[in-house]
């Protein structure tokens, strides 16, 4: 994904720290604005495929993927939009996919939960809980066997820790010292069930010690903390030192699926949601950059307008694209 250029003031241009911060900020804001637009389109029934939105968790995908190279692979979940965008996915292709159009990144066949673009190191996402964790381990095994120097990353939610595949994958990855990073996005709810009602021990990062690998828990709404932690894990993986488990504490602002906040379902309280909204990762970085003189509010407003236009154009293009042809129904289907 090409980054929009920002013209800095003289003061901010002289600040060498501006570039990485702006890149992180633009990625997070792109995810947020795209998800807000998708929420509107789902509400109006323009998009009818189930969409699990990433609003509130933008710092995790952004910070981790900023530490990766194009030839590193990311394996995503049903909540895939943020990971796809952060890894360099094309907004136009993503929007077309959500509309079920042939120009979509998965040819209009996958929808929201099955985005894929191998060219950018995003081989696919899956709605199967914990399903992509062993896939990331398999990719890491291939990378090591081929001496590629690439790293595999598996994103998953706290609910995936209840699955046997999680434990088997960590054990094998540690045993073989594979270049894989396990990133748990602990948003405190497994679908609609609080994490404390799923796990006897909610400190997910501690499970790393069982398999003799580093494990850490960080503020998943602090993009700089996520980035620094991911850089350390990536360096370790590339040096042949094996896997790392990172638990990112974060929170999804919307419900498990769709644009509703689920407050009416009495699954969580409005006060809890508002408390987490005050920890918004985008506002946090916005405030930091302005206070440090890295960029001005007017310049940040310009960035947001440019991204809004980019997303609007992607939606407009998606609506003009055609659907997959009837005769292509069996394309890309393989018989064992």
pLDDT tens for each residue of 280-311: 999 999 999 999 889 999 999 999 999 999 99
- Confidence tier at 135 by pLDDT (50, 70, 90): very high
Q: Token digits for 309?
A: 């236009």
Instruction: Give percent above pLDDT 90 in the chain.
Output: 76
Residues 160/184, Cβ–Cβ less than 8 Å: yes
The residues spanned by each domain of the chain are 10-317
Give ∠ CA 109-150-241 in degrees, rounded to 5.
Answer: 130
User: pTM of the full predicted structure?
Assistant: 0.91
Q: Go through the chain and tell me how many residues it has.
A: 336
Q: Token digits for 280?
A: 């918004």
Q: Is the pLDDT of residue 33 over 80?
A: yes
Residues 108/102, Cβ–Cβ less than 8 Å: yes
Tell me the mean pLDDT in the region 38-50: 95
Residue 5 has what pLDDT? 44
Residue 7 has what pLDDT? 44
Burial class of residue 147 in the structure, from the number of CB atoms within 10 Å of its CB (0-12 exposed, 13-18 middle, 19+ buried): exposed
- Mean per-residue pLDDT of the chain: 91
Indicate the class that CATH gives domain 10-317.
alpha beta
pLDDT tens for each residue of 154-190: 999 999 999 999 999 999 999 999 999 999 999 988 8
């Amino acid at each position: 994904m090409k980054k929009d250029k920002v013209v800095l003031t003289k003061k901010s241009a002289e600040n060498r720290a501006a570039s990485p911060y702006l890149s992180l900020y633009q990625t997070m804001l792109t995810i947020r604005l795209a998800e807000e637009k998708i929420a509107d389109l789902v509400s109006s029934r323009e998009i009818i495929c189930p969409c699990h939105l990433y609003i509130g968790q933008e710092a995790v995908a952004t910070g981790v993927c900023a530490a990766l190279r194009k030839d590193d692979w990311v394996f995503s979940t049903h909540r895939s939009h943020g990971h796809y965008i952060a890894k360099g996915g094309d907004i136009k292709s993503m929007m077309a996919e959500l509309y079920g159009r042939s120009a979509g990144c998965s040819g209009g066949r996958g929808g929201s939960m099955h985005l894929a673009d191998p060219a950018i190191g995003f081989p696919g996402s899956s709605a199967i809980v914990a399903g992509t964790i062993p896939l990331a381990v398999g990719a890491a095994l291939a990378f090591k066997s081929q001496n590629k120097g690439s790293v595999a990353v598996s994103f998953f939610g706290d609910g995936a820790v209840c699955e046997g595949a999680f434990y088997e994958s960590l054990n094998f990855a540690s045993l073989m010292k594979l270049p894989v990073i396990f990133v748990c996005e602990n948003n405190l709810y497994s679908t609609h069930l609080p994490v404390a009602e799923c796990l006897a021990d909610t400190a997910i990062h501690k499970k790393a010690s069982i398999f003799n690998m580093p494990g850490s828990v960080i503020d998943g709404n602090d993009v700089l903390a996520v980035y620094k932690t991911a850089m350390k894990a990536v360096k370790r993986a590339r040096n042949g030192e094996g896997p790392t488990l990172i638990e990112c504490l974060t929170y999804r602002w919307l419900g498990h699926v769709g644009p509703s906040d689920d407050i009416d379902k009495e699954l969580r309280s409005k006060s809890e949601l508002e408390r987490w909204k005050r920890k918004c990762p985008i506002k946090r970085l916005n405030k930091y950059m302005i206070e440090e003189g890295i960029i001005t509010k007017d310049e940040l407003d310009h960035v947001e307008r440019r991204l809004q236009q980019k997303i609007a154009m992607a939606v407009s293009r998606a609506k003009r694209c055609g659907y997959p042809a009837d005769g292509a129904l069996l394309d890309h289907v393989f018989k064992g």
